[in-house]
Amino acid sequence: MTPSGSAPGETRRKSEMLDSLLAFGGLMLLRDSVEWEGRSLLKALIKKSALCGEQVHILGCEVSEEEFREGFTSDINNCLVYHDLFRDPLNWSKTGEALPGGPLGALTAMCRRTDPGPVTIALDSLSWLLLHLPCTTLCQNLHALSHQNSSLGDSSVQQVRVLGLLHEELHGPGPLGALSSLAQTEVILGGTVGQASAYILCRRPQQRPTHQTNWFSILPDFSLDVQEGPPVESQPHPDPHTSLVDPMTHLTFNLRLSKKEREAKDSLTLPFQFSSEKQQALLRPGQGQATSHVFYEPDAYDDLDQEDPDDDLDI
Amino acid sequence: MAAEATCGAGAGSTGSLAAAVGMSNVTSFQRRGPRVGGADSGGPRLMSIAGTRPSVRNGQLLVSTGLPALDQLLGGGLAVGTVLLIEEDKYNTYSPLLFKYFLAEGIINGHTVLVASAKEDPAVILQELPAPLLDDSRKQELDEDIYNHKTPESNSKMKIAWRYQLLPKMEAGPVSSSRFGHYYDASKRIPQELIEASKWHGFFLPEKISSTLKEEPGSLTPGYIKLLQFIQNIIYEEGFDGSNPQKKQKNILRIGIQSLGSPLWGDDIFCTENCDNSHSLTKFLYILRGLLRTSLSVCIITMPTHLTQNKAVIARVTNLSDTVVGLESFIGSERETNPLYKDYHGLIHIRQIPRLNNLICDESDVKDLAFKLKRKLFTIEVRDFYVSYIKG
């Protein structure tokens, strides 16, 4: 990291993004596009891993080795192990310099690596590999690559980290989705005018995925400078919640009770509730009922039995 | 009862028969034995298999999915001989839970478990199964969960429906004494002794496929062929299809296949637009269903259907499976921060329920279901829009 005379807090923030990205192993997918290129971020990650003392293997397919090594200091360049697929991918020159087996052979050779210790493998780029290999083969090899050395005992410690650069505009949603589902970390590069951003999605096993957005810029020596985002006014921020709260205001029934209404509701006597007042009112033939009389005129079919069968009942 | 039923007929002969029936409690119509559905009828003797029960509607033999709430939604349980397809959610956070509950239920009941995966080692999957909740701790969990969700109105004594005050609170699940469905604690691991005491088989694809086999066009991918052969061998050797008549005790085979159709299985149906072998997955499901129908087995398959937009593929896969449940989680979508959905972690869609030996299926009336993963329990409930809004 280039301190450039900044306070300790700032250097901590600068290295935080790279540290959080490199904290976990597995497959990390860097999705870039024509406007926001990802190779410089890839190189920044490679530089950070090399500085941490890990072995770094690079499978270069899209750019030449000289162009890739440009910008790295010599001590970092000595740490990098470069496998060149750019110069002669189909082994036409037959000089023996090309990797045997083509891209698939190179990948499987990396899977069978037996050196202990943490290692970072950078694939530049996955798009090139997707165009030359079937998607299923690539996915299976990537899975085998990123799950090396993980036995039952230390399945939490991932020794291998695979960084893959993917140009998302070259592929349809199928391969993109397939590779995303394999990746433990996904970094989608984007940004607004003049400011690059990285949307980082982390998928840990057994845990819910977390996501965050970091604004950064990459310095010429491939160190990272995390910045504040652009001013808020320039970001259009749609607020869907205001429109969704509306359903509550147009109801034809009342969901909430005011204090008075609640008191009135509590003090209401329900018709079938048998309270003591009602009992008294029923038992006592009150004065208020003097005005109501029942007029009964028996007609021919009525049977006025003088022997009332209820007489012996004790009410 | 029979007397009243035949009263309406009014025929003389049935009338006398009805009278005879009415007089004595023992009817002359004897059932030979409870009809056990599925592939295997055990003759006049009733042989009950641990962890199964006959359906109350049509006598079909059912097993539990591991989630009593899901059992209730599927009409009592999962029928033996069928396939349960789980459409994975986008980040594959919650479908492994349902997968593990299914396998854990098999281990607890003593069923044989077959785990097939292209991603993780089956031994690792079995280590991560949830631990079962014991009876007293289960009641404690449920009571504390129900208590937390009481609305303020129901806390006070009921004024209008006061007769219901005395009824016990209903649990969301079957409470039969034979422990058909178990509750699991998602935060704890299953005890190692239970796994070692159980019988399980694992199929890990990278171990089985060593070299790239030549694939014939129009046939299944090599991974699928190997898996089908593996399943067939297990069914035959362990007698789940009745081929070993001297087996002392019948048992159920629970098969779990993780992420079928993903590129890790060698199948490009979900990752390419016009793939060469687009019928590999459908053929696999067809053959698998044939294997399951002729044996005492149940299968759960999780499938990443969110990877494809091709509705034809999804429709074919749905038709070839029996029960289909889709999970939709709110992670990463705009619903995560929406106050209307904040109580839940996702929606659960029951897309299909099979009609087995039947003209109608046991569809529940409720269509709007949501799930949430509480600290320990995975619950499915009806999405209650207004209640959740009132509670704040």
Architecture of domain A10-227: 3-Layer(aba) Sandwich (3.40)
Which tokens hold the place of A23?
A: 């904290």
Which tokens hold the place of B293?
A: 């129908």
Task: For chain A, give every domain's residue range.
Answer: 10-227
Which tokens hold the place of A145?
A: 């690559």
Contact with chain A for residue B195, Cβ under 8 A = no
Sheet strands side by side (includes B346-352): B200-204, B112-117, B253-257, B297-303, B83-87, B323-329, B346-352, B369-373, B378-382
In sequence order, the 6+-apart residues with CB closer than 8 A to the CB of B378 are B67, B94, B97, B98, B101, B184, B186, B371, B372
Which tokens hold the place of B51?
A: 């962890």
Q: How high is the pLDDT of residue A233? A: 47
Q: Is the ipTM of this complex over 0.85?
A: no
- Other CB atoms closer than 10 Å to residue B125's CB: what's the count? 23
Please check whether residue B347 is in contact with residue B370, taking contact to mean a CB–CB distance below 8 angstroms: yes
Q: Sort out which chain B residues have CB atoms less than 8 A from A203's CB and list them.
A: 91
Q: Sort out which chain B residues have CB atoms less than 8 A from A172's CB and list them.
A: 272-273
Q: Sort out which chain A residues have CB atoms less than 8 A from B267's CB and list them.
A: 136
Ranking A48-52, A172-176, B367-371 by mean pLDDT, the lowest is B367-371
Whether pTM exceeds 0.90: no
Q: How high is the pLDDT of residue B302? A: 96
- Other CB atoms closer than 10 Å to residue B207's CB: what's the count? 10
Q: How high is the pLDDT of residue B9? A: 41
Q: Choose from B271, B308, B341, B386 for mutation: most chain A CBs within 10 A.
A: B271
Alpha-carbon gap, residue A104 to A137, rounded angstroms = 8
Mode of pairing for the β-strands spanning B253-257 and B297-303: parallel
Are the Cβ atoms of B306 and A152 closer than 8 angstroms?
Answer: no
For chains A and B, count residue pairs whose Cβ atoms are closer than 8 Å: 85
Contact with chain A for residue B262, Cβ under 8 A = yes
Alpha-carbon gap, residue B51 to B54, rounded angstroms = 11
Smallest Cα distance from B124 to chain A, Å = 7
Q: State the burial class of residue A202 (Cβ atoms within 10 Å of its Cβ: 0-12, 13-18, 19+).
A: buried
Q: How high is the pLDDT of residue A178? A: 92
Within A147-255, where are the H helices? 173-182, 240-245
Contact with chain B for residue A156, Cβ under 8 A = no
Sheet strands side by side (includes A26-32): A80-84, A55-60, A119-124, A160-167, A26-32, A185-192, A195-202, A210-218, A224-227
Identify which of A43, A48, A18, A47 has the alpha carbon closest to the alpha carbon of residue A32. A43
Q: How high is the pLDDT of residue B294? A: 92
**E-strand spans in chain B?**
52-54, 61-63, 78-79, 83-87, 112-117, 130-132, 184-189, 200-204, 253-257, 297-303, 323-329, 346-352, 369-373, 378-382
Alpha-carbon gap, residue B149 to B132, rounded angstroms = 23
Alpha-carbon gap, residue B281 to B305, rounded angstroms = 12
Smallest Cα distance from B248 to chain A, Å = 35
Q: Sort out which chain B residues have CB atoms less than 8 A from A201's CB and list them.
A: 332
Local confidence pLDDT in tens for the 392 residues of chain B: 444 434 444 344 444 444 444 444 566 666 665 554 444 444 434 467 888 888 888 788 999 999 888 888 888 899 999 999 999 998 898 999 999 999 999 999 989 999 999 999 999 999 999 998 876 555 555 555 544 444 444 445 566 666 666 655 434 433 333 467 888 888 889 999 989 999 999 999 988 886 666 667 678 888 999 999 999 999 998 888 877 766 667 889 999 999 999 999 988 888 887 777 788 999 999 999 999 999 999 999 999 999 988 899 999 999 999 999 999 988 877 777 777 777 788 889 999 998 888 887 767 666 778 888 887 778 887 765 555 445 44
Alpha-carbon gap, residue B275 to B345, rounded angstroms = 34
